Structure 1
Amino acid sequence: MTTRLYSFAQQMQTVAELMLAVAGESVSVIKRAAPEQALKLKHQDEWTIYLEFLRVMFNLTDRVSALHIPLKEQPQFMDQLTDTVIDQLKKALEPAFGAGSDQTEIVLTIGTAVAESRQTYERYRFLVTEDSPAKNDLYRDFSDRVARAVGAPRNPAVTAAATLCVSAVIPALIGIFEGQTPPAAADATPNPATTGGSSAPRGATGADIKLVSVMSSIKGEEVETRWGLHPRFRQDLTQEEAKQLTTTMNRVAKILGERYATVAFSDQWASWHKAGHA
């Protein structure tokens, strides 16, 4: 590794962690977007979806890294990133395979995924930091592949979920290469159940989304406390999950509302209340 590339060693590790975390979490997001098809998926099908996310992320990382690493050294960076992803994936799968087992198949699989990434997505010409028709075409191609892999071709819920997940990767990657605080691995995927102060890097890229909100307000001598959900999160919940969440959030709203009322009408905050600021 050259001196220049060595300075990007931490970014390389973080990008590899991000890619594996996003791919894994995205499979869960896609399954929730198509619950009927998800029941029929086998482990091999889930692995196919996982690899499709890795393919597109290798391509996006290639584009982002080209803006930050000298042109002559950027191919070497991508080669070493591939090795890093393989090493981390080996460690993650070691409990399933057993220590010391032959994991040559993982090496071949990831190597093939990188090659297929170039063949599949390289033809789309766009600057990764800007919106463009070509960029949208790549998202569309990718989301269609995911929908077919899950057994729900052209399913708008699946294609929207896939696009949402992969589009959040770009600001996360840019943040990493710009030296911002690395995002928490599980926070990189904007899934309705992860997106809300989670998916997409927390604070580092400005991609935070409110998942659940609770607000109290004063009307005369009464305190009203309301709660709400991000619409994409609401769509992602099953009927039973929505019921459980409603019960829990009603309790949370009651507790917070009572506490807010106690504070708002206390002597300490009386002046604020009269001024309408409570």
Structure 2
Amino acid sequence: MRLINRRPGRLTATALGILPFIILLLIYGAASQQRLAENPNDKLLPGLEQMTAAVDRMAFQEDRRSGDYLMWVDTLASLERLGMGVGVAALMALVVGLANGILPLVRANLAPLVSALSMVPPLAILPILFIVFGLGELSKVMLIVIGTAPIMMRDVAQRVSELPGEQLIKIQTLGANSWQVVTRMALPQVLPRLIDAVRLSLGPAWLFLIAAEAIASTEGLGYRIFLVRRYLAMDVILPYVIWITVLAIVIDQCLRLANRRLFPWYNVGGH
């Protein structure tokens, strides 16, 4: 039997998916144990006990100076910025993407601009955002919007242009005007694809968020990581990185589940 035709069962697939994580943990555990054996005060590869103590201190003990539970305050601040930035970007992508995809006059006018904006490195304009919008929340949200919206706009427009031409002809034959074509034909078919676009944009959105928080912020997951790095506090940095990864996975899976529940017809083909 050819290798390309061999498909693992559910249990085997789960085991194969977990295996790389187990290998990485074993490698890290062995390296950490070796370094700590040579130097118990080593900070580069902290052991499980050190990281557990750091998580307990950051998440379950009040900060002596502020009285806050820092890990939860940081998490809430970052999620608020991420949600606002990605939400605004998704709304812009839906409106502009639909218009670019279905209205030739709009496409001729806006498509070149969207393409050009999607090529601009967002981190390169971060200083400009701080100058224009200040060091507050708006500049951080705008970085996420500028970094993710153009890509999602292009994706939505491409999806609209891929809709069968027969549908467009039939709905116009039935007397639909331009607004009805957009709202009754294009919009329902584009919404699940927009959710996919948001899922693909979450990685860059986290990157832009952490970069902005590291430069100008007083709270947030990125801020905390870059604050404690001066003390080489890897026992805090590594759990924070793991926590960010867990949050990203949970958000992605929630969007995936919402897509499957809201648009079951879209997922029949294996999307």
Structure number with higher relative contact order (C-alpha < 8 Å, ≥ 6 residues apart): 2
Which band: TM-score by shorter chain? under 0.3
Given the two structures, how large is their TM-score scaled by the length of structure 1?
A: 0.27
Judging by fraction of residues, say which structure has more strand: 1
Judging by fraction of residues, say which structure has more helix: 2
Given the two structures, how large is their TM-score scaled by the length of structure 2?
A: 0.28
